[in-house]
Amino acid sequence: MGVDYYKILQVDKNAKDDDVKKAYRKLAMKWHPDKNIDNNKEAEAKFKQISEAYEARIKGL
């Protein structure tokens, strides 16, 4: 099975676009590499994963 983008974004599969956007923004701020200097590598990986999930959700994948 593929990656569960909803799980990454911590939203329900029936979430509205606004809810997905809010969840993305919250997680992106939390895991942005500039805000996680002590744990930069993990933050970069999480940030990329969150961004990929959001892009896939917006494009309807």
Residue 22 domain boundaries: 5-58
Residue 33 pLDDT grade (very low, low, confident, very high; cuts 50, 70, 90)? very high
Burial class from Cβ neighbours inside 10 Å (0-12, 13-18, 19+) for residue 49 reads middle
The domain total for the chain is 1
Q: What is the pLDDT of residue 1?
A: 55
Output the domain CATH number for residue 38: 1.10.287.110
Q: Considering the entire predicted model, what is its pTM?
A: 0.87
pLDDT over threshold 60, residue 9: yes
Alpha helices in 4-39 (DSSP H): 5-9, 17-31
Helices 17-31, 40-58: axis angle to 10 degrees equals 170
